[in-house]
Amino acid sequence: MERKAPAIYYDGLTSKPWEALVSVHGSNTLEVSVVGADGRPETFHWPMEHKGLQWERSGNHMLRLHFGDHPRKVLIVRDELFVQSFALRMRYSGRQGTYDRVLSAARSGPALFFLAVIGLLVGGYLWALPWASERLALLMPRSMDVQLGDAMYAGMAPSLNEDTARSAILQRFADQLQVAPGFKPTFHYVSDDQVNAFAMPGGHIVVFSGIAEKMTKPGQLAALLAHEGTHVEERHSTRMIMRSMGSYVFLSLLLGDLSGVVGVIAQNADNIRGMGYSRSLESEADATGQERMKAGGVDPEGMVHLLELLEQEAQDMPEELSFLSSHPLTKERIAKARAKAAELGQVNVADSLQATLFEQLVKP
Amino acid sequence: MDLLQPRKRFAFTGQGGDLFSVLIVNWLLTIVTLGLYYPWAKARKLQYYYEHSELDGHPFHFHGTGREMFKGFIKAVLLIVLVFGPFYVGSILQKPMLMIGGLILLLVGSMALFPLIIHGSYRYRSSRSSWRGIHFGYRGILKELYSICLRDGFITLVTCGLYSAWLQMNVRSYVLSHLRYGSSRFTYKGDGGDYFLLNLKGYFLTLFTLGIYFFWWMKDRFNYYVDNLSWTVGEGADQRTMRFRSTATGGDMFALMVVNFLIVVFTLGIGLAWAEVRLMRFALSNIEMVGDADLDKVVQTEDEHKNALADDLGDLMDFDIFL
């Protein structure tokens, strides 16, 4: 950079532009020479490593250098060669900021850069985001699940016609099994014709008489409780809430509107009752439920019988699909449950207490 | 009439592809930092706009930094929470008293903030802008702006909004007439009555022509802004004035708005950078200054003002002060 490049110099005192020549003097000093008002050339030096020297460039066609405090002295260089070599020099001396580097990348191929950013965003949205929000959900204290579930159940309880005597029997039946060992689930037996059952985060599990009365074997009830218990134990609701909140925050950031984050929490809490878990969470609830059945001394084959009962129901009563609609592909699930049961092996326990409790529960 | 008078031209030298790179990097960094980068992104964007706006071949410069805007941003967020918070908390918790109190606070608060935002934004933006190394400045007094806003705001309410043309012109005249460039100053002479008639005519002709006149109406408003502005350099006998003049036509305005609309719609928003560049080119290439003031003779006088609170507040409240 021995070459002297033409530049415009403003002295920060008046608006008069001065013609100037700029070059690099020695290893790291800028030399600026200006022809002053009296016609005499004036030369001064700006150390390039000085903190008071700030520079900005727009591509290769313009470089703006400021020196000193307000009012600054300003030098504008439009010489492409000078701008280029100045930027290179700053890069090697470590004074090129991250921003300038990213922007250079963007400038060298805007379309490619744009696609890369889009790819990054899509990847982030599809993989990184669900992963991160699930990790976050697992970091939440378990007591939060319990509080959330208690609040939700309290809001719902008045509309449920609970049979407290049978709830007590159900509770004893479930306690034998330990369906959600990490929590202390409370079981509610509700007189309602719907073929349905659901679990709230932290432990309230509701079983409708509509489904219990269709059952013929204690294994089916055990399977149902194990399935719902797994939703509680594995904190599926909390994970779902965190996931949809994560998506919401991400999309809001993208669109620059954060006003609805509070809304999404309320909406999610409201939706949980009717919310279908994702297919993978349902499969997890089936399989883990079966393992828990085995641990609790119940034949995991019960899950197969439960799913068969549900499939039967779907054919008999097409208008009452609520349980099944959130549990898609029953055939596939039956096959999986059968395989899992075979893998776990048969458990030959004839638990008379469970059989008795089951009889008491389903008898009219 | 003034064909022999010397004139200076404005120009915008930005390119769509260039601005696109700036915007996409901003976008990326804003997302990666979960929104915290926003003030820096805003600074980068403004810097791009200023750097590529030229008067008489010399670029403008924006000195604002992400750091000072970030400070302003944090303060602005806190202020917004204070003003808007009680109403939202009240409506979520269903507490009627808190809701009504919060609503009153919200309405009074946002009206009281209005002059503050204008004042603060002008102080900040002008002080952080320079041309040929000389900084702009704003020397309006907040109290005076408040009294104009209160008086005219009250009349506007009483007249169901009819008086808003006067409100707008009085505020604009006050603000622009206190704008300075170093030792030189600007003057704006907008008249509420003229502006009212301009809008009345524009409104009805737009109705009668099924919307076609809209572009000519917008052209008239743009011209009214530009043509009433002047710039005075020097004192006493040396005093010279440059008049701003718009050369925009309704046809240009029509082409600008329709093509920009099509660009944004058909590229699903990706073409926004190109639309913005077209807008800036239209605005700047249609402004010229006529007069013989010596633009070399301006002396640096204005101090730096680094508080960006009002500017960020205006941003958060989606309130465009500069048009």
Alpha carbon distances (Å) from B301 to B137, B186, B304: 9, 15, 10
One digit per residue, the tens of pLDDT, for chain A of length 364 reads 468 899 999 988 888 999 899 988 877 888 888 877 677 788 888 888 787 888 888 777 888 988 888 788 899 999 888 888 888 887 777 666 677 777 777 777 777 888 888 888 788 888 888 888 888 888 888 888 888 888 888 888 888 888 888 999 889 888 888 888 888 889 999 998 888 888 888 889 999 988 888 888 888 888 898 888 888 888 888 888 788 777 777 776 665 544 454 455 445 544 544 445 677 788 888 888 888 888 888 888 888 888 888 887 766 544 444 444 444 567 788 888 888 888 888 776 666 777 888 888 877 6
CA distance B143 to chain A (A): 28
Residue B282 has a pLDDT of 93
Please compute the mean of the pLDDT values over residues B276-280 and round it to a whole number: 93
Residue B276 has a pLDDT of 92
Q: What CA–CA distance (Å, rounded) separates A23 from A86?
A: 10
CB-count exposure of residue B148 (10 Å: 0-12, 13-18, 19+): middle
Question: DSSP letters of A58-113?
Answer: ETTTEEEEEESSSSPEEEEE--HHHHHHHHHHHHHTT-S-HHHHHHHHHHH-HHHH
Interface-testing mutation among B300, B303, B306, B315, with chain A (most A C-beta atoms within 10 A): B300
Residue A348 has a pLDDT of 67
Q: Of the ranges A22-26, A94-98, B185-189, B317-321, which one carries the lowest mean pLDDT score? A: B317-321
**In contact, B59 and B52? CB cutoff 8 Å:** yes
Residue A149 has a pLDDT of 85
Counting one residue from chain A and one from chain B, the pairs whose CB atoms sit within 8 A come to: 99
pLDDT band at B151; cut points 50, 70, 90: very high
**In contact, A142 and A182? CB cutoff 8 Å:** yes
CA distance B177 to chain A (A): 21
Contacts of residue A75, defined as CB under 8 A and 6 or more positions apart, other chains included, come to A7, A8, A9, A10, A20, A22, A32, A64, A65, A66, A67
Predicted structure pTM score: 0.71
Alpha carbon distances (Å) from B66 to B41, B45, B63, B75, B119: 7, 11, 10, 14, 21
What percent of chain B lies above the pLDDT cut of 90?
47
Q: Of the ranges A171-175, A257-261, B226-230, B269-273, which one carries the lowest mean pLDDT score? A: A257-261
CB-count exposure of residue A319 (10 Å: 0-12, 13-18, 19+): exposed
**pLDDT of B312 higher than 80:** no
Q: What CA–CA distance (Å, rounded) separates A216 from A224?
A: 13
Alpha carbon distances (Å) from B200 to A22, A44, B220, B225, B322: 57, 60, 12, 16, 23
H or E stretch including B136?
strand B134-138
A39: tokens are: 């016609």
In the three-class reduction of DSSP (H, G, I as helix; E, B as strand; rest coil), residue B230 is classed as strand
Report chain B residues whose CB lies below 8 A from the CB of A253: 30-31, 34-35
Alpha carbon distances (Å) from A309 to A303, A313, B34: 10, 6, 48
Residue A272 has a pLDDT of 47
Which residues of chain B have a Cβ shorter than 8 Å from any chain A Cβ?
17-18, 20-22, 24-25, 27-31, 34-35, 44, 47-48, 51-52, 58-59, 61, 88, 92, 130-135, 181-182, 270, 295-300, 303-304
What percent of chain B lies above the pLDDT cut of 70?
96
Closest Cβ–Cβ partner in B28, B52, B298 for A117: B28
Task: State the complex-level ipTM.
Answer: 0.80
